[in-house]
Chain A
Amino acid sequence: MTDRNAAPLLSVRNLTVNFGGPDIVDDLSFDIGQGEIVALVGESGSGKSVGSLAIMGLLENATIQGSASLSGGASSGGQEAPTELVGLPARRLRALRGRRISMIFQDPLSSLDPLQTIGGQIREVLKAHTRLTGAALHSRAIALLEQVGIVDPEGCLALLPQRLSGGMRQRVMIALAIAAEPDLLFADEPTTALDVTVQAQVLRLLKGLRDQTGMAMVFITHNLAVASAIADRVIVLYAGQVVEDAPADVFFRRPAMPYSRALLSAAPRLEAVLAGYGHLEAPRGQVPSPGQRGTACRFAARCDDVRETPCLASMPSLVSIAANGEAHHTVRCARWEELAP
């Protein structure tokens, strides 16, 4: 589990991304601890995917400023010197990907090669990152598929991706992503396309892998219930900024940012269905587009608790609201203290 005293595995500072126009991601700062699962939550346009792709060096034609520093992971005993990911040459990034940081996406079918068998794809990854050959390579491939819960790994190796169900494909994707035992896994909506029972299985698998290997995870999702099921910590993004960063149990008990509260009450819940009301609390309007974010609080136009001052006067900064001895908790709301329940 997380050791908050140790240096973070990934430290993102003032990350700003644009594609020649207005900034899409604006001054993003957060830490990911060793072995920590952090849910990056936000609606479309919040910058959660663009921010992560920028950190992984997967954006083309983007102007990226700021820093994303990856320190030595559990595999190196934390001894390796930190590596700055922003601006790292493509050749060095390639060497890091897979081995130190890895990723899985929403649609495994578009990430898997449709013309190559599962076995071929796993062997390719293992050859790139390990010195295994022959029988050792084969047994490692089998072990990986077993690790992600595939019941007939031998048979699976011979199949093409289209022969597998959505849940099985996502398991294969996870096997490929963890083949080189990375320290940090980016998972971008990995369960969104899956049925609810399969989703629960994949979430259990990912959490189990973290417990076994100590791999940290950035879990990008728009679904708060999914975030609640897997995350140690929740970071909420709104219009390109971090607006709240809190331990998961604190976040779901008493979110401090009005936007976090709006997100939680807009999400339909099974318990609410029982209460019998056919109505959801929805904040009015929509997320401002990158060119129209203004200089005030970006949520102000949709916030029920908005005041001329301080909300419209200036952009609130991200402040720490954790009391002494409490875990890291920051919020971007000028009225958080007045609004605290």
Chain B
Amino acid sequence: MSTAVLSVRGLSKTYVQRKGLFGAVKETHAVRNVSFDVGRGEILGLVGESGSGKTTVGRMAMRLLEATSGQVVLSGTDITVYSHARLRSVRRKMQLIFQDPSASLNPRQTIGRILRTPLALRGIDNDQDILETLALVGMSPDILNRTPAMFSGGQRQRLSIARALLMQPELLVADEAVSALDVCVQAQVVNLFVDLRDRLGLSILFIGHDLAVVGVVSDRVGVMYRGVLVEVARTADLFRRPRHPYTAQLLAAAPRHGAPLPPEPASSQFSQASGGCVFAPLCSHMTSECLNRQPDLSEVGPAHQSACLRTELQLSGV
């Protein structure tokens, strides 16, 4: 996609541990060979369970964490090799929203001071932008003299979004940004993200563990399992006709309103063979071929990619 705001190619992160001075080297593959694009004005959801590597991908995309290999391209510029000094000039274009806004807003600073910091970095010395941005995120303009402690969790998350927006970013990386919020407030903030995409044409990498939340905001969704991006597709396609058995299992396990608990999924009970598909040990569709190699993400339909050898499978979705 030529209009991609963020494009990552073959991103991997390997942690190496050595037992003793001459001991064996143990490699942990936190992220393996992940590639995707986030288009302009697009929300790409990244969903996975804990340990799936979704947060690591987000941090590598922002170059807050060095990738072991792979490329990060921001608006056509390869920033993988940028020095820290050069990174500063492009960091403005990508902003991170965290799960816990009370940990990311300085409790001793007033809202005015917190919001003027990004403006100062842009060399602006008036509050016009602040007032407009507060209106955009649904906060009243008369709060500049208050401190973060005087706001609820949802309001604080709006404030951290406002602070990010004041840097005029092209890309937001939202990591579990609504997970800590109550359901009604969560709905408000979810709507805010969609609204920002529509009104500002903002691109968002929306990372989360809750399929329904990620699905509601995202134009496309990528599913991660044990460091591997196993499937990417337009949201409705992924939910209606998942092509990777892990996606299907995740959809089946999610509790639903007014529906009984899903039955225990069948599994193959094979132990992890090194080099095989990461999901093979838990996959009820596993064949001997699956134990030989980890399949790459490949096209299985229009704008639909899956990393499963058994492309003929008919899996049930929602």
Which residues of A approach B to under 8 Å, CB–CB? 43-44, 166, 195-201, 203-204, 207, 222-226, 228-230, 249, 252-253, 262-264, 266-274, 276-283, 286-287
Interface contacts (Cβ under 8 Å), in number, total 135
Partner of B182, one of A222, A225, A252, A269: A222
If over half of B's interface residues share one DSSP class (helix, strand or loop), that class is named, otherwise mixed; here it is helix
**With A228-B258, A286-B152 as given contacts, are A270 and B264 in contact (CB-CB < 8 Å)?**
no
Q: Are the CB atoms of B257 and A225 closer together than 8 Å?
A: yes
Q: Are the CB atoms of B257 and A268 closer together than 8 Å?
A: no
Inter-chain CA distance A197–B249, complex, in Å, is 8
Chain A residue nearest in CB terms to B262: A200
Q: Are the CB atoms of A203 and B261 closer together than 8 Å?
A: yes
Q: Is B49 an interface residue (CB 8 A)?
A: yes
Inter-chain CA distance A263–B184, complex, in Å, is 7
Q: Is B28 an interface residue (CB 8 A)?
A: no
Q: Are the CB atoms of B257 and A252 closer together than 8 Å?
A: yes
Partner of B240, one of A196, A267, A274, A280: A274
Q: How far is the CB of B52 from chain A (nearest CB, A)?
A: 9
Given A279-B216, A280-B187, 16 more contacts at CB 8 Å?
Answer: A195-B209, A199-B253, A224-B183, A225-B254, A225-B255, A225-B257, A229-B261, A230-B261, A263-B183, A268-B186, A270-B251, A273-B212, A273-B236, A274-B240, A274-B318, A282-B191
Inter-chain CA distance A18–B153, complex, in Å, is 23
Query: What are 29 A-B pairs with beta-carbon distances under 8 A?
Result: A166-B50, A195-B209, A196-B250, A197-B265, A198-B49, A199-B253, A204-B264, A224-B257, A225-B254, A225-B256, A228-B255, A228-B257, A228-B259, A229-B256, A249-B258, A264-B257, A267-B212, A268-B210, A268-B213, A273-B239, A273-B318, A274-B236, A276-B236, A278-B43, A278-B217, A279-B191, A279-B216, A280-B191, A286-B184
Name the interface residues of B182-202: CB closer than 8 Å to any CB of A. Answer: 182-188, 190-191, 194
Q: Is B302 an interface residue (CB 8 A)?
A: no
Chain A residue nearest in CB terms to B50: A195
Q: Are the CB atoms of A268 and B184 closer together than 8 Å?
A: no
Q: Which residues of B contact A278 (CB under 8 A)?
A: 43, 194, 216-217
Name the interface residues of B11-48: CB closer than 8 Å to any CB of A. Answer: 43
Q: How far is the CB of B157 from chain A (nearest CB, A)?
A: 12
Q: Is B139 an interface residue (CB 8 A)?
A: no
Q: Are the CB atoms of B261 and A280 closer together than 8 Å?
A: no
Give the residue among A271, A272, A276, A280 with the most B Cβ atoms within 10 A.
A280
Q: Which residues of B contact A286 (CB under 8 A)?
A: 152, 154, 184-185
Q: How far is the CB of B246 from chain A (nearest CB, A)?
A: 10
Q: Which residues of B contact A264 (CB under 8 A)?
A: 257
Q: Which residues of B contact A226 (CB under 8 A)?
A: 255
Q: Are the CB atoms of A252 and B262 closer together than 8 Å?
A: no
Inter-chain CA distance A270–B184, complex, in Å, is 17
Q: Which residues of A contact B239 (CB under 8 A)?
A: 270, 273-274
Q: Are the CB atoms of B236 and A270 closer together than 8 Å?
A: no
Q: Are the CB atoms of B187 and A204 closer together than 8 Å?
A: no
Q: Is B203 an interface residue (CB 8 A)?
A: no
Q: How far is the CB of B68 from chain A (nearest CB, A)?
A: 25
Q: Which residues of A contact B249 (CB under 8 A)?
A: 197
Q: Is B260 an interface residue (CB 8 A)?
A: yes
**With A195-B209, A197-B49, A229-B261 as given contacts, are A267 and B250 in contact (CB-CB < 8 Å)?**
no
Q: Is B245 an interface residue (CB 8 A)?
A: no
Q: Which residues of B contact A281 (CB under 8 A)?
A: 187
Give the residue among A204, A270, A271, A274 with the most B Cβ atoms within 10 A.
A270
**With A196-B49, A274-B318 as given contacts, are A280 and B216 in contact (CB-CB < 8 Å)?**
yes
Q: Is B58 an interface residue (CB 8 A)?
A: no
B257-292 CB contact bits vs A (8 Å, 1 = yes)?
111111011000000000000000000000000000
Q: Is B235 an interface residue (CB 8 A)?
A: yes
Q: Is B215 an interface residue (CB 8 A)?
A: yes
Q: Are the CB atoms of B190 and A280 closer together than 8 Å?
A: yes
Q: Which residues of B contact A283 (CB under 8 A)?
A: 184
**With A204-B264, A224-B183 as given contacts, are A268 and B258 in contact (CB-CB < 8 Å)?**
no
**With A228-B255, A273-B212 as given contacts, are A279 and B235 in contact (CB-CB < 8 Å)?**
no
Give the residue among B183, B210, B239 with the most A Cβ atoms within 10 A.
B183
Chain B residue nearest in CB terms to A272: B216
**With A204-B264, A286-B154 as given contacts, are A269 and B256 in contact (CB-CB < 8 Å)?**
yes
